[in-house]
Structure 1
């Protein structure tokens, strides 16, 4: 229509069950409008909206109320608590609307309050709580409702930075443990990158890019996204699993030490990991210790000159947490699973390249960098 602009223009996306899906953009981008369309607080003028195969746009008022009461719960920026209700009554409000018995409401609300760390505050009024605590009550209300889908409209933007980070940690823990589907709106790209399984960036009502944090950082869709991500702290977004690569070679305990030293010399390596048949790390073989062990032409195996002076990390550790480990490790930092199986390694050059150059990935690493095994 002339003179009018669509708040959401040809927006198309799918959210998987149990996914943490983030919609982000600056003010006026259309992100909150899209979120509110999901439960028809804002009526879409065209298109389709389905939740688990059900046509939400075609629901009658009774069906829509049931969807909002049982399937979807919304957490707002400004808490939306009833000031004359106790914390427990606020947490149980969705159950009250369903005519759940008072005893069951109290039990469910108390569980939710304990889950968010407010187990002893059930009899208090919202006015007695801090802003962060009131936001926890809003989250407890969503949990108590047992809704499968949480819609969250900039829920932490009014909080102080330290409280905000605590709430982010809490929500990510709850989402991981309870496997709720979360659609989360924010204007903060660092928050989006930290929390989202996938991120949809909007501008002027349109979707500019949709992908994982790593995909957006490494392959921004256009100049707008490139400028948008310029100040993102990559060390808190990229993880060890994102940049690890295969080691140039590994050894086993029964290998001849002289042969291993020769292989290390060929790749200018300072050491290598020693693995068993299941790729579990048994230790490392440092070039200087191997050379000392074979002095005088002695024939020894790697088992006799192994050491355990190395560090290892899981594949989901932010890069910000591994700088000191990479710097002090005598061999490239090991990335392992819970059984100590070697998944990959992170040489210093790989870490530096990942932080300095968008597009650096584990598949590219190892081609033009110093040859550390």
Structure 2
């Protein structure tokens, strides 16, 4: 498996970008860079995506998230900073080495499918394997298996224009899976789909990664999608990462008023779990049936309505973590966001 590590990454567009980075490092804000004729798309981003983790980068349009993901595989060259993929510094690679890295290590799923209209579904899915020089039998077997994984077995001889939007996105996902890379980069991959199909694709991605254990970097502007898919979430604003954490951590302890404003309308009963609120100092009644730490609060409510008393919580090994009280749930769900902040949408950098 493969991890991705980012160290102090900057991307500045405009005249003398290296000088503009030095100004940012000295404390200039993006408005000052704009006055100098530049655009600070990504500012001092640092994080690590663990092997097998789904790491979601979340932000409004203009936050820099699409610029960030394009630096992770070398489609854009950073103005400053480094990106390591499986321990290799890709910012120091030649163009040829970058192309080889993408073929063996990273695949990308785009928002608008990026399929070849003149090729069949099977040929689209096989593209990554064919570019890598795989043998004919390996290409056919890999593409067929990838179509099976995404629920499109038997559709290989169709063309993209014969498929619905959701099916075309499945083809894009199958193409990334067929390439057999450890890392998937997904840039707003489901945002063009209607809500029902989007939900189905989210379910499929969760199921697939439970089977395959890929390392995924997923870009979205949809907070509910971020909280549903992400093992951890990086919140971006004006090119900067303002908070990294699990959905529960971000909900319970937003880093600033901007993040608090984002999460104030989230259905906390679906995100917060019994484990997040389990208190080891609280004792449940003798003989009370424990619940798993992963149980969402929405599924704990019926039991606590019938018996409003502490409920024991256990981990995957049935070890006691503590108990959840009605008061703890009330306090978690009645959390008020900080003062509202102005939010303006602009074109994504």
TM-score relative to the length of structure 2: 0.81
Report the equivalent of 1:357: 335
The answer on whether the counterparts of 2:227 and 2:233 sit within 8 Å (CA) in structure 1 is yes
Instruction: Tell which deviates more after alignment, 339-348 or 60-69.
Output: 339-348
Are 1:98 and 2:132 an aligned pair?
yes
Report the equivalent of 1:371: none
Rg larger in structure: 1
Q: After superposition, where does 1:29-44 map in structure 2 within 5 Å?
A: 29-44=63-78
Structure 1 CA distance for aligned equivalents of residues 102 and 317 of structure 2: 44
Q: After superposition, where does 1:155-174 map in structure 2 within 5 Å?
A: 155-174=189-208
Question: 2:47 aligns to what SS in structure 1?
Answer: coil
| Structure number with higher relative contact order (C-alpha < 8 Å, ≥ 6 residues apart) | 2
Q: After superposition, where does 1:181-260 map in structure 2 within 5 Å?
A: 181-246=215-280, 248-249=282-283
Q: After superposition, where does 1:106-185 map in structure 2 within 5 Å?
A: 106-185=140-219
Report the equivalent of 2:286: 273
Unaligned runs of 5+ in 1: 251-271, 275-283, 285-309, 360-373
For residue 319 of structure 1, the aligned residue among 297, 317, 335 is 297
Cα displacement string for residues 149-175 of structure 1 (whole angstroms, at most 9, x for unaligned residues): 100100010111111111111112222
The answer on whether the counterparts of 1:18 and 1:181 sit within 8 Å (CA) in structure 2 is yes
Q: CA deviation at 1:320?
A: 2.3
The answer on whether the counterparts of 1:202 and 1:208 sit within 8 Å (CA) in structure 2 is yes
Structure 2 CA distance for aligned equivalents of residues 48 and 181 of structure 1: 19
Please report the RMSD computed on the Cα atoms of aligned residues, expressed in angstroms: 2.0
Report the equivalent of 1:346: 324
The answer on whether the counterparts of 2:282 and 2:310 sit within 8 Å (CA) in structure 1 is no
Structure 1 CA distance for aligned equivalents of residues 291 and 153 of structure 2: 34
The answer on whether the counterparts of 1:326 and 1:346 sit within 8 Å (CA) in structure 2 is no
Instruction: Tell which deviates more after alignment, 56-65 or 122-131.
Output: 122-131
The answer on whether the counterparts of 1:92 and 1:106 sit within 8 Å (CA) in structure 2 is yes
The answer on whether the counterparts of 1:239 and 1:319 sit within 8 Å (CA) in structure 2 is yes
Q: CA deviation at 1:341?
A: 5.1
TM-score relative to the length of structure 1: 0.76
Unaligned runs of 5+ in 2: 1-19, 21-35, 338-349
Structure 1 CA distance for aligned equivalents of residues 41 and 321 of structure 2: 45
The count of aligned residue pairs is 303
Structure 1 CA distance for aligned equivalents of residues 227 and 154 of structure 2: 33
Structure 1 CA distance for aligned equivalents of residues 72 and 318 of structure 2: 43
Structure 1 CA distance for aligned equivalents of residues 316 and 59 of structure 2: 37
Structure 1 CA distance for aligned equivalents of residues 165 and 95 of structure 2: 34
Cα displacement string for residues 106-140 of structure 1 (whole angstroms, at most 9, x for unaligned residues): 11111111111111222222222211111111111
Structure 2 CA distance for aligned equivalents of residues 338 and 208 of structure 1: 32
The answer on whether the counterparts of 2:54 and 2:230 sit within 8 Å (CA) in structure 1 is yes
CA pair 341-218 structure 1, distance change in 2 beyond 3 A: closer
